[in-house]
């Protein structure tokens, strides 16, 4: 008889004071710089990124280097802090290559031999926020599935348009390829705030080898796992915004001579959503803490957070549109941006189903 693994030490599920300060700083930056109208104008013009905002966040505030140790040019913080940044980016659905460059690509590089100058230099450049690197895999790639190596055209790569460097998995290892060597063909994404492109890396492209194939595959999986774990924080941010805005709207909107938020049928739905959001918060803090402490349970914590939070974010966004009613269906109201982000996130880095499948194995709940 096998027993499910149990954790020997308790995860820290709270936010530290430093994390609260970081949240306040990021929120105030995003509130000032990332309003919906401007975001929509940029997205429609096909230039969704705001370079000034990225510089302020990634370089001036140092958010890009949170995961990177100080001796490698970063801030020497951890996944706990990066998770807080992602919660805020999720709240505002800000188009910024934070998850792709500062989390996934950074985590891939950190899993390699950081003594190698090519790896160390690239890491330092990412940590400074000067360079943006993107792992050339589809946004839907899960940490558990087969990794396609050496494919010439990779569709659905997130933030490719913002990338200076691509990390490319080939059958004989992992390579860094400058953006100039690569074909980037924009696709029309469901989520306007996270642009996608098909990336083609010609066989002749100049490339710097970073690792051999075994090290490369392990590093890419680690990058995708950390990405999935912190994506849950972004999803929490999306859900939180949706709930807050829905509560605000239903308190103010009057119909039948009453604020609609006083109707029990609506109150119960928002209370239910609140319960899901506070539960998701515990799950995503657990995942961030497990990644930060390199816990043996990190994979389990990520799978739990993803399996739960994807559904909560989509539910919150769908309720947000419904309870805003007509206005929730309009292009001008940001509800649709959150719905598109939530739905797209539910496919990104492994569906809830794929995370549950992984979990079944981890806790010995075997399939028939």
Partner 1 sequence: MTDAAELRTRAEELLAAHPPATTDRTTFLKARFDAGLAWVHYPKGLGGLDAPRSLQAVVDAVLNAADAPDNDPRRIGIGLGMAAPTILAYGSEEVKERFLRPLWVGDEVWCQLFSEPGAGSDLAALGTRAVRDGDDWVVSGQKVWTSSAHVARWAILIARTDPDLPKHRGITYFICDMTDPGVEVRPLRQITGEAEFNEVFLSGVRIPDAHRLGEVGEGWKVAQTTLMNERVSIGGSRIPREGGMIGPVTQTWRERPELRTHDLHQRLLTLWVEAEVARLAGERLRQQLVAGQPGPEGSGMKLAFARLNQEISGLEVELRGEEGLLYDDWTMRRPELVDFTGRDAGYRYLRSKGNSIEGGTSEVLLNIVAERVLGLPSEPRNDKDIAWKDLAR
Q: Where does this chain bind partner 1 (CB under 8 A)?
A: 1-2, 4, 6-7, 10-14, 247, 250-251, 258-259, 261-262, 264, 267-268, 270-272, 274-275, 278-283, 285-286, 304, 307-308, 356, 359-360, 363-368
Least distance between partner 1 and beta carbon 103 (Å): 22
Residue 147 pairs with which residues in a beta bridge?
Answer: none
Least distance between partner 1 and beta carbon 227 (Å): 20
Of 92 and 246, nearer to partner 1 (C-beta) is: 246
Pairwise CA distance, residues 138 & 150, whole Å: 13
Of 35 and 364, nearer to partner 1 (C-beta) is: 364
- Closest by alpha carbon to 316, among 90, 85, 79? 90
Of 194 and 285, nearer to partner 1 (C-beta) is: 285
Of 60 and 361, nearer to partner 1 (C-beta) is: 361
Least distance between partner 1 and beta carbon 84 (Å): 15
Least distance between partner 1 and beta carbon 279 (Å): 5
Pairwise CA distance, residues 55 & 64, whole Å: 10
Q: Which residue stretches of 45-187 are H helix?
A: 51-54, 79-91, 106-110, 117-128
Pairwise CA distance, residues 68 & 227, whole Å: 15
Of 106 and 310, nearer to partner 1 (C-beta) is: 310
Rounded to 5 degrees, φ, ψ at 196 are -120, 155
Least distance between partner 1 and beta carbon 262 (Å): 4
Of 131 and 309, nearer to partner 1 (C-beta) is: 309
Pairwise CA distance, residues 293 & 199, whole Å: 34
- Closest by alpha carbon to 63, among 45, 48, 77, 42? 77
Both tokens of 347, joined, read 């496919």
Pairwise CA distance, residues 281 & 168, whole Å: 34
Least distance between partner 1 and beta carbon 284 (Å): 10
């Amino acid at each position: 008889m096998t027993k499910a693994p149990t954790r020997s030490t308790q995860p820290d599920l709270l936010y530290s004071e430093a994390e609260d300060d970081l949240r306040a700083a990021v929120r105030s930056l995003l509130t000032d710089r990332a309003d919906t109208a401007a975001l929509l104008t940029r997205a429609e013009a096909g230039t969704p990124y705001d370079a000034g905002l990225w510089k302020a966040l990634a370089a001036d505030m140092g958010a890009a280097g949170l995961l990177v140790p100080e001796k490698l040019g970063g801030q020497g913080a951890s996944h706990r802090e990066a998770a807080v940044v992602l919660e805020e980016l999720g709240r505002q659905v800000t188009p910024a290559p934070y998850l792709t460059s500062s989390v996934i690509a950074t985590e891939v590089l950190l899993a390699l031999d950081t003594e190698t100058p090519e790896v160390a230099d690239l890491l330092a450049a990412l940590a400074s926020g000067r360079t943006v690197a993107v792992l050339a895999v589809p946004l839907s790639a899960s940490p558990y599935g087969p990794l396609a190596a050496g494919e010439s055209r990779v569709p659905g790569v997130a933030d490719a348009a913002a990338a200076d460097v691509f990390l490319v998995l080939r059958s004989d290892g992992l390579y860094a390829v400058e953006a100039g060597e690569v074909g980037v063909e924009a696709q029309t994404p469901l989520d306007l705030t996270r642009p996608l492109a098909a990336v083609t890396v010609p066989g002749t492209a100049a490339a710097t080898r970073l690792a051999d194939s075994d090290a490369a595959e392990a590093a890419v999986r680690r990058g995708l796992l950390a990405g999935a774990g912190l994506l849950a924080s972004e999803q929490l941010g999306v859900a939180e915004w949706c709930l807050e805005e829905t509560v605000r709207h239903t308190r103010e909107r009057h119909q039948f001579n009453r604020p609609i938020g006083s109707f029990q049928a609506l109150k119960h739905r928002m209370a239910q959503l609140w319960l899901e959001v506070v539960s998701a918060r515990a799950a995503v803090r657990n995942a961030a803490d497990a990644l930060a402490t390199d816990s043996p349970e990190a994979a389990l914590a990520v799978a739990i957070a993803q399996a739960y939070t994807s559904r909560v974010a989509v539910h919150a966004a769908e309720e947000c549109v419904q309870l805003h009613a007509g206005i929730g269906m309009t292009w001008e109201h940001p509800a649709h941006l959150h719905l598109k982000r939530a739905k797209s996130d539910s496919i990104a880095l492994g569906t809830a189903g794929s995370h549950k499948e992984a979990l079944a194995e981890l806790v010995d709940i075997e399939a028939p």
